Amino acid sequence: MFGLELDYTILLLLCLLCACVFEFINGFHDTANAVATVIYTNSMKPLVAVVWSGVFNFLGVFLGGISVAAGILKLLPPESLVDQTVAHNISIVLALLVSAIIWNLATWRLGIPCSSSHTLIGSILGVGIVFSLLNGDTSLSGVNWSKAKETGLSLLISPLMGFGFTMGLMALLKYKVKTQSIFKSPQADEVPKSWIRGLLIFTCTGVSFAHGSNDGQKGVGLIMLILISIAPMHFALDQDKNPFEIQKPAQTALNGMIELDGQLKDPLVKVQAERIKAELFDINQILAKNSATQVVPVEERLSLRKDILFVISNFEKLKKDGGFSKADKATVKAIDHSLGQIKPLTSYAPTWVIFMVALSLGIGTMVGWKRIVVTIGEKIGKEHLTYAQGASAELVAAGTIGLATITGLPVSTTQVLSSGVAGSMVASNGLSNLQSGTIKNIAIAWLLTLPITMILSGLLFLLFRQLF
């Protein structure tokens, strides 16, 4: 399979299975947040709610694009791993998967809404750091720290947005809506009015779809990390696309860089531009050399991928640092457009990968959801969740997660929604309306997730490295 020996093929399949298990756990761990409000407001029966949420998680993965998946790949670039042995790459992948699964199951067993995104990112950082240190790299370049910082900020800011915006939305509802029944806790088995029920089902659907489009993409990125690092010759480039279609845009980009050359004044920026030109020249050379056969040899596909990713990421930096004049901006725009035509060759995921993640996440949503639902519905606030609180928290969560997906940033459904529920409780009756014990447990889990998963994944990598 993919040119691997039988034992490595078995280990690759094991890695893919673990990735599916992670997404399955993600389904019932994170997506329980989406169904908590409709269940606790009697808007949907529990079984109907989880099946409904599972279906829209499935659709979210399929229709959400792969921008977040590309972001996950940038945290631990598989291109930096391919010079290692297959056994070491399998050790890295298994270590981060197993550590993420262990922590997710532990927090689920305790009923603590802990972020699967947080868990996965901590695991990736842990193996990336240990991988770098073992190779004598004290700068820890095995981790893309600029992307890690960006991801960390999104994980920090998004729950604050959930809390603050939900409080604001609750205040607006109190000011504008005269129907006081939406601010009261539903009675047992009391079905809400049609318009309230419709709104709550709509927000549940939005959170489920947004979760699939954001968290599902993390699973897609995880599987692509596995495939590119273990079988790079088969997955370095999108084999459904003709690589020679990028010849013209690659040459256009190179011509544009040559045109800009005389306009650059800063010596450091000029060095950066020279490197971009050199990589664009290499891309053109590879394509020109093989244009007669219209097939890029297996051994050159990874080199082409590395060159493309280098050019795209470094040109983004050049745009910021170049200090281009208005006259140069047309050339910069033309280069940017050309690179956009090149990008799909490396920024992709096969349909079977997306389907596998969507199915794992969708089925997981329908299993084991109750522990987290009880925490969200009963243990964050001292009062039963009201219609207005449920709708406000989910509307803000769906909007926040959807915005993050559009910008390609991973965020935590758990953190955004649970903080939204907390914000709705505070908006109703102040800070005294929160259950301090639950908030404390959630905060402790949030603080401990990164260090624990980093340490656990690093230790597991060292163990697996000895075993394989």
297 versus 84: which is more confidently predicted? 297
Query: What's the pLDDT score for residue 455?
Result: 94
pLDDT(17) > 90: yes
Query: Which H or E element spans position 352?
Result: helix 351-365
Average pLDDT, the chain: 82
pLDDT reported for residue 467: 82
CB 71 within 8 A of CB 410: yes
Read off the tokens for 226: 């596995």
pLDDT at residue 262 in the model: 72
pLDDT at 376: 67
Q: What is the pLDDT of residue 149?
A: 81
Mutual angle of helices 145-176 and 413-429, in 10-degree steps: 30
Residue 146 has pLDDT above 90, yes or no: no
Q: Is 136 strand, coil or helix?
A: coil
Grade residue 110 by pLDDT with cuts at 50, 70 and 90: confident
Q: Is the pLDDT of residue 99 over 90?
A: yes
3-state secondary structure of 434: strand
pLDDT at 387: 81
Work out the average pLDDT over 157-169.
89
Cα 210 to the center of its chain, rounded Å: 12
Comparing 10-14, 48-52, 157-161, 443-447, which segment has the lowest mean pLDDT?
Answer: 443-447
User: Closest by alpha carbon to 303, among 319, 281, 273, 318?
Assistant: 281
CB 392 within 8 A of CB 167: no
Query: At 357, is the secondary structure helix, strand, or coil?
Result: helix
Q: Is the pLDDT confidence value at 78 over 70?
A: no
Three-point CA angle 86, 219, 18, nearest 5°: 55
Least confidently predicted of 34-38, 235-239, 280-284, 399-403: 34-38
Residues in contact with 156: Cβ distance below 8 Å, sequence separation at least 6, in sequence order? none
Vertex 419: Cα angle to 415 and 422 (nearest 5): 150
pLDDT score at 293: 61
CA distance 327 to 347: 31
Residues in contact with 331: Cβ distance below 8 Å, sequence separation at least 6, in sequence order: 256, 259, 260
Give mean pLDDT, residues 137-165: 80
Give pLDDT, residue 166. 92
Q: Which residue(s) pair with 381 in the sheet? A: 434
> Please, how many CA atoms are within 13 Å of residue 109, restricted to the half-sphere of its CB?
6
3-state secondary structure of 141: coil
Q: Is the pLDDT of residue 414 over 90?
A: no
Whole-number Å distance between alpha carbons of 104 and 449 = 10
The pLDDT, as a whole number, for residue 385 is 75
Q: Tell me the backbone φ, ψ of residue 59, rounded to 5 degrees.
A: -65, -35
Please choose, from the candidates 201, 12, 189, 174, the residue with its C-alpha nearest in 3D space to the C-alpha of residue 92: 12
Q: Return d(Cα 129, Cα 111) in angstroms, integer.
A: 30
pTM for the model: 0.82
Report the pLDDT averaged over residues 166-178.
85
What average pLDDT does range 303-310 have in this prediction?
A: 87
Residue 406, Cβ density class (10 Å: 0-12 exposed, 13-18 middle, ≥19 buried): middle
Res. 83: pLDDT tops 60? no
Chain centroid offset of residue 161 CA: 18
Whole-number pLDDT of residue 18: 92
Residue of 51, 36, 98, 348 whose CA lies nearest to 217: 348
Q: How confident is the model at residue 353 (pLDDT cuts 50, 70, 90)?
A: very high
Whether the CB-CB separation of 289 and 219 falls below 8 Å is answered with no
**pLDDT tens for each residue of 185-226:** 777 677 777 888 888 899 889 888 988 888 788 888 889 888
468 pLDDT above the threshold of 80:
no
Rounded CA-CA distance 390/394 in Å is 6
- Which pLDDT score is estimated for 453? 93
DSSP 217-278: HHHHHHHHHHHHHHSHHHHSS-TTS-GGGGHHHHHHHHHHHHHHGGG---HHHHHHHHHHHH
pLDDT of 81: 62
CA 339/CA 337 separation, integer angstroms: 5
- Block residue for tokens 């047309």: 330
